[in-house]
Amino acid sequence: MKEPFLSALPIIEEIENAGFEAYFVGGSVRDYLLGKKIHDVDIATSAKPAELKTIFPKTVDVGIAHGTIIVIRQGQGFEVTTYRTEAEYKDYRRPESVSFVRHLEEDLKRRDFTMNAIAMDKTGSIVDPFEGQHALKNKVIATVGSADERFQEDALRLMRAIRFVSQLGFRLEMETEKAIEANAHLLLHISVERIMAEMAKMLEGPYKTEAFKILLRSGLYKYLPSLFNKREDILAALDYRISPLNENQIWLLFLYLSQTTSTDRELKKWKLPTKKIKALTRALDYLKLRLLHEWTAYELFKAGRETGVLVETVYETIQHRPVGSAAQRIYGHFDKLVIKARDQLAVTGNDLLVWAGEPGGPWVKELLEEIIKAVLNGDIPNDKQEIRRWVKACGLL
Ligand SMILES: Nc1ccn([C@@H]2O[C@H](COP(=O)(O)OP(=O)(O)OP(=O)(O)O)[C@@H](O)[C@H]2O)c(=O)n1
Ligand SMILES: [Mg+2]
């Protein structure tokens, strides 16, 4: 067995030594069987949280009502969850509390998709009562048992199904897709934060074009917080071009396509971090300029490298051109800028004050800006005396 399972093995062994069962479950087993990179291992056990606490001296309660604790071993944390069932799902969300059960199969039965309902013991043997391996082999996403029931237990699974399409390129089994359509409205019961977390993963997936198609076809898009939710026309027009774009690039493309006049409000509805909202709003302004003309040295300097790449990539997408060389082009442009940061300018605000012999004020910042523009545009070299001469000659001082 390999990492990261290897370092979690002692946890399973200690639980077994205490007379209980424990298995690797969920995404780690799925990704392992797919030969993909494994993020975090989840362990499911027949031991209840209180019993786990007698086995392990160091634990952290993270979701004890859901039966999840973190076991700390040699400074590393492992999520261990007691077998549980769907007895008390309410309001189409994860339940407030759960009923614990003693059999693995009962636990696997209430998981979302067959590919996520596979368990693996400490020797690497697979327990797969719902034919999850078959689904992996056939690249199919299918719910465990009744699709309506699974989506009604936790409507976030509607989004999860589609984000797995985006990440894995699998297709949805027919009943599962029909149930997404029939239950789409239940997404309204799910918090924006949880929807956003799935959306972020969806936007990073290599098969996002397909995911968007299903979002549209199933009608699920109508129940998203904003931006993607009203524009059937835009969603229908998205094609292979969006597949190389990352999350930020897609938000920017969408802001542009939607022609929204209230970027801030639309993005706030998704509860995006304020910093990200600001960055996207700023990028949208540069994108509008870029659509009018080629970057000027001053604009690129003001935008900065990262925003420059973001804007240029989306610009190329809008122009129906491949985005492959956008970043390199911006880096090349940026490298040629006479100054790349304000502190590289040969004069400071203080110099201006001394030259003018006048008290400070907004004029200092304004004049510095004029100088920066002139230096970047190549009107004057970045040299203190030359700048002084230029400022005087222009009558700016
Ligand atoms: N709404 C949900 C969320 C999770 N699960 C179950 O809990 C496991 C772990 O959940 P999570 O870590 O959220 O997702 P993963 O499938 O592990 O995907 P990822 O690789 O993105 O973590 C899933 O595999 C699935 O068995 C579920 O049944 N229903
Ligand atoms: Mg996981």
**pLDDT per residue as tens digits for the range 347-378:** 999 999 999 988 999 999 999 999 999 999 99
Task: Verify that 168 and 271 share a domain, yes or no.
Answer: no
Burial of 315 (C-beta count, 10 Å sphere; 0-12/13-18/19+)? buried
Same domain, 195 and 79: no
Residue 378 structural domain: 343-397
* Phi-psi label, residue 20: left if phi above 0, alpha if psi -120 to 50, beta otherwise: beta
Single out the residue of 311, 389, 383, 310 nearest to residue 345, CA to CA. 383
342: exposed, middle or buried (C-beta count within 10 Å: 0-12, 13-18, 19+)? exposed
The predicted pLDDT at position 87 comes to: 58
127 with 2, same domain?
Answer: yes
**Of 132, 164, 185, which one is at a domain's C-terminal end?**
132
The mean pLDDT value for 116-136 works out to: 98
**pLDDT for the residue 92:** 78
Sorting pLDDT into bands at 50, 70 and 90, what band is 89? low
356 class by beta-carbon count within 10 Å (0-12 exposed, 13-18 middle, 19+ buried):
middle
Work out the mean pLDDT of the chain and round it to a whole number.
Answer: 94
Cα Rg of the chain, angstroms: 28
Instruction: Say what the pLDDT of residue 241 is.
Output: 81
171 among the known binding-site residues? no
ipTM tops 0.95: yes
What percentage of the chain exceeds 90 in pLDDT? 84
Residue closest via CA to ligand 1's atom 9 equals: 26
Q: Which of 81, 91, 111 to mutate to test the pocket of ligand 1 (most atoms within 8 A of CB)?
A: 111
- Average of per-residue pLDDT across 332-344: 95
Residues 173 and 199 in one domain: yes
CATH number at residue 121: 3.30.460.10
**From the CA of 234, how far away is ligand 2's center (Å)?**
32
Cβ-contact 126, 118 below 8 angstroms: yes
pTM score of the predicted model: 0.89
Check whether residue 295 and residue 192 sit in a common domain: no
Atom of ligand 1 nearest to the CA of 201: 21
Per-residue model confidence (pLDDT) at position 96: 66
Is residue 82 domain-shared with residue 4, that is, in the same domain?
A: yes
Q: How many distinct structural domains can be found in the chain?
A: 4
Distance (angstroms) between ligand 2 centre and the Cα of 318 equals 35
Residue 361, phi then psi, degrees to nearest 5: 170, -175
Ligand 1 contacts CB of residue 156 (under 6 A)? yes
